[in-house]
Amino acid sequence: MISARVFALGAAFVAIRGVASGGAFAQNTETTQTVQSDDTVAALMRSWLMEEDAAVRTRTLSEIATAVEGDVDRAARVLACVSIWDPVEEARGELAVPDAGVRVLCALPADYDPTAGPFPLVICLPPARAAPASFLDTVASRLATNGGGAAIWIAVGGQADGMFPADPAKAGTFALILREAMSAFHIDAAAVYLVGSGEGADAAFSLALAYPDSFAGLGAIGGYARVPLPEYAYSLLSENLGSLAIASAWWLADADDPGAIADLTRRDLFIAAHNRALRSLAATALPRFDGAEVNAAPAAWNHVAGALRRWLVTPPPKADPRTARGWIRFPQHGRIGWLEAEAIDEPIWTSQQLTVAVGDPGGGDAFVRGVLEGRLAHLAGRIDGQEITIDAHRCLRVGILLRRGLIDFTRPIRVTCNGILRYDGPVERRLTTMMETARRDLDFSNPAWARLSFRMDGPALQRD
């Protein structure tokens, strides 16, 4: 059943109930006819979004196109009000994620109502020796906001995937977890936060590097990304973290775990080296990195929890949506803002470390950057009015997703990639593109209206 929604009709707001609930409307008015029609479109869209059979979706999409009479603006307005989320009976439970290979626990606000969403999502990544349920409770209690900033919480038991320490076979696993959570609960795609401690903080950093467009903020307590040669590598890879609000805190010894002091001391030195490398870039590449070196774990928790509390109440400012840039290791990590690396050049870097052969000339930063640039793919793009400029490295095929506000769809655009003109002409807003990207991303407020795709050896074409 479609939940109660509110549609804007001119200057008036009219509350309606979905057709499945037998909503009643006043008769014989122009406004009533519009409400009934929007109600029908919303029901068709909900059915299409939840349908697994491609043939059925094709027929339903044709019905949607007929119902909106080809008006993409109207379709987008109705889509933004569609709800596919049902109430849940229990506030706590386990989220089934097929093929993920990890356990995912979830906790909802006590009075969770999907129609009151979307809600922020906090993804909790526990240290190796902590139970996911216990860590979730710890994070939730430390981030309590006295009634403000209600959120949905999930805890992932075991590392899902990341960038440098990842198993290539598991690359993309985290995307499955995030999609399953967004399918089950009404989550704000622009307010997804990572918080990790110990090895969980390592995973949080790695996930932020791998999915630079998926998170609004990262909180790390005593962790690092396990990037090889951080003092050199971060000057390059920090590009993937540049739009992210980061609160990180670390210390030199964990007095709460005396039995592991010898091991943790060595680890803590790595943590400090990596975080100091990131902090050194705060004035340039990482303007929103808030790092604190403290003398004990409680102080580290206070630093990170304070930042996350603020973000839940007032989300961090968003980066300029017209700019997209980042480094890509695995094909599953190729989405960066409105750009997508649809295929990358082989071979894919599967080694866990940065191998430096005997006899290499050295050269510090420049040498390490050169090695990384040779092994990773890269995408960078900028939209200035109707001009789209892209730089692609080790990408075989590139996709462009154009949303409302990025360009003027009534005027032609020009797309240049690596100095070569790839497209020059009008872009058609398509209902199919809008619905397909909404279904893929589960973000109904601002789906893509047009999609262009091109191979590096050919021109760009508009596709659904």
3-state SS, residue 58: helix
Closest CA to 96 of 179, 2, 199, 21: 179
Spans of the chain, pLDDT less than 50:
1-36, 146-147, 162-163, 255, 260, 357-359
Q: What is the CA radius of gyration of the chain?
A: 24
- Which pLDDT score is estimated for 110? 80
Architecture of domain 92-313: 3-Layer(aba) Sandwich (3.40)
Q: What angle do CA 272, 366, 266 make, to 5 degrees?
A: 20
Cis peptide leading into 331, omega within 30 of 0? no
- Which pLDDT score is estimated for 10? 27
In Å, the largest CA–CA distance within the chain is 85
Give me the residues paired with residue 15 across strands: 6
Cα 384 to chain centroid distance, Å, stands at: 24
Q: Cβ atoms within 10 A of the Cβ of 24, count?
A: 8
- Which pLDDT score is estimated for 228? 74
Q: At what angle do helices 230-237 and 261-279 cross, to 10 degrees?
A: 40
Helix (H) or strand (E) holding 246: strand 245-250
The two counts, helices (H) then strands (E), for the chain are 11, 20
3-state SS, residue 167: coil
Q: How many whole angstroms separate alpha carbon 170 and alpha carbon 336?
A: 19
Closest CA to 438 of 84, 177, 95: 84
Domain ranges of the chain: 5-79, 92-313, 323-463
Give me the residues paired with residue 325 across strands: 380
Amino acid symbol at 147: G
- Which pLDDT score is estimated for 13? 23
Q: Which residues, including other chains, have CB under 8 Å from residue 396's CB and lie 6 or more apart?
A: 342, 343, 344, 345, 455, 456
- Under 8 Å between Cβ of 425 and 452: no
Cis peptide leading into 118, omega within 30 of 0? yes
Strands 387-393 and 377-384, sheet pairing: antiparallel
Residue 365 has phi, psi (to 5 degrees) of -55, -50
